[in-house]
Structure formats: structure tokens, C-alpha cells
Amino acid sequence: MSVTSVGIIGFGRFGQLCARHLAPHFDVVAYSRKNRTTRAHEMGVQLVGLGECARQDIVIISVSISAFERVVEQIAAHVKGDALVIDVCSVKEHPVAVMERLLPATVRCVGSHPLFGPDTARDSVAGHTVALTPVRNAPLDDVRTFLERLGLTVIVTTPEEHDVQMARSLALLHFVGSALAAIDIGRVTLSTATHARLLEVVDIVNNDSRQLLEDMHTYNRHAGAVRRELIKALEDLDHELTGAAAKRS
Ligand SMILES: NC(=O)c1ccc[n+]([C@@H]2O[C@H](COP(=O)([O-])OP(=O)(O)OC[C@H]3O[C@@H](n4cnc5c(N)ncnc54)[C@H](OP(=O)(O)O)[C@@H]3O)[C@@H](O)[C@H]2O)c1
């Protein structure tokens, strides 16, 4: 019986996490612009050219959000007519629109956002959550069944609802984490357990690339408004505390 083949395009932090968890279940090949042969061999994954990677039964695109459109343009002519293409971008309106516009009409597409990363799901994805936004001809039941077998909770939503919620959760978390890193909140010897948890958040956020932070805010049209809401709340709080201090003196 032939095993379903998976091509992972982009072998960065998330592409490698995908490869590690999918290699036991599928024939996995991957495409990387960098020489990551040793890393790939450790996972039992073969590195191939972009065209060959795009000609597999299932194609997972795990490139930077800002590179997504260019990569889909490059692979569109290589993807098999009945292939299943899945993106993993941390925003959904942009990649879903790109796949609908650029991939041939027979190609089945599913938008996904795994709500975990290489730090939080290094050993197992069980117990984590993945958001799915079906695009067209999406074999949603098959995808859901496979993900649930891995122990994942699946939430089906729309690209817009996903981005509205992410603007208030993940994108905001990365914004706050990056700001806290800039003022070096770890430079203390007297810490509390809660402060230590905050430092963990800062570490996790900073393990991800600056490009991911930028892309999550540039390609999520709802993120700017939430950033400004937070800044206004901080200014109001500062105003209140400055007023309280003035009353005491
Ligand atoms: N990190 C997370 O926790 C996480 C969680 C869920 C979803 N995601 C999503 O996963 C995707 C990848 O993020 P990441 O964290 O893995 O970032 P990353 O480590 O910076 O990797 C980015 C990947 O994109 C590739 N790439 C960039 N431009 C490209 C181009 N023009 N052509 C081909 N490949 C290109 C890079 O290739 P090279 O290595 O060859 O430069 C690299 O493999 C993003 O869409 C992100 O939203 C990330």
C-alpha cells in the first residue's frame, strides 16, 4: 500500500516541528533554501527542490507570512490537481485569500494555525489546539480525524474571526513580550513566582524571529487597533498613578 507523501516547504522553526511530528506517519520530504541536511537526516526527512516538494500528495507551506504569496506563485504550476495544500500561518485572512486566488481550482486547500510552537510542543503536540479555516474542497473530516489522533483539539473558524481573536491574543502577547524584553525586566535578583512566569513568556516570544512579530502585525488588519487600545490603557494608567503620587506630595 502506498504511503501518503507530505512535502514541507520551509524548514525553519515551525517546518522542523511539523517534520518531526509527521515523519512517523507519512513519507516526508522538505524544501529549505539553507543547507539543513544534517537536521533533516536526524528526522528521517529528505531535502528536495521546491518543485519536487510541491508535487507531493499533501503540501504544507511553513514559510514566513511575508514570503507566502511569492512561494504560492512559485509552486502553483507544480502542485498536483488533487493535492491537499495546508498553510500554517499565524494569520489567516491573507494566506487563505492567496491560496484561493493562486492555486488551481481542483486543488484542495485548508488554512490552519497550530496554536503552539517549537518551545511549547517540543516533545508532543498532545493537549494543544489547532485552528482550521477550510478554504475549498477541504477534506475537513479527514484532517480533523488525523489531528485529533495526535491528541490535538481542533477548532474550526473563519479567517476573519481567527485574525480578530489573534490580534487580542498571540499578536498582542508578542507585542508585549518584545516590549518587556526591550526594558530588560529580567535584570533583577528579587523576583516572584509570577514574575518568573512573565520572564518565561518573554523568553518564548524572543525565541521566535523578529520577522514573525512584524508579519503577525503587518498581515493582521485587526492588530494595530488592539496595540493602540493597549497603549491608551497604559497611558491612562500612568496618568492615574502620576495623579495619585502628586496628591501624596
Ligand atoms: N514559530 C511558531 O511558534 C509558529 C507557530 C505556528 C505557526 N507558525 C507559522 O510558521 C511559519 C514559519 O514560521 P517559523 O517560526 O518557522 O519562522 P522561521 O524559523 O523564521 O522560518 C521561516 C521559514 O520561511 C522560509 N522562507 C522565508 N522566505 C522564503 C522564500 N522566499 N522562499 C522559500 N522559503 C522562504 C525560510 O527559509 P530559509 O530557512 O531557507 O531562510 C524558513 O524556512 C509562519 O507562517 C508562522 O506564522 C509559527
User: pLDDT (tens digit, 9 = 90+) per residue, 93-147?
Assistant: 999 999 999 999 999 999 999 999 998 898 899 999 999 999 988 899 999 999 9
Q: Half-sphere exposure of residue 114, counting CA atoms within 13 Å on the CB side?
A: 29
Question: To the nearest whole number, what is the mean pLDDT of the chain?
Answer: 95
Nearest CA to ligand 1 atom 38: 33
Site residues for ligand 1, CB cut-off 6 Å: 10-15, 32-34, 62-65, 67, 70-71, 88-90, 114, 117-118, 208-209, 211-212
Q: Alpha carbon 26 to chain centroid distance?
A: 21
Task: Band the pLDDT of 223: cuts 50, 70, 90.
Answer: very high
> Does the pLDDT value for residue 1 go beyond 60?
no
Query: Measuring from atom 31 of ligand 1, which residue has the nearest CA?
Result: 67
How much is the pLDDT for 2?
Answer: 63
Name residue 196's amino acid: A
Which atom of ligand 1 is closest in space to residue 16's alpha carbon? Answer: 16
In the chain, the domains with their CATH numbers are: 5-157 (3.40.50.720), 169-248 (no CATH)
Among 63, 83, 84, smallest CA distance to 72 is for 63
CA dist 120 → 16, 126, 167, 203, 204 (Å)? 14, 11, 20, 12, 8
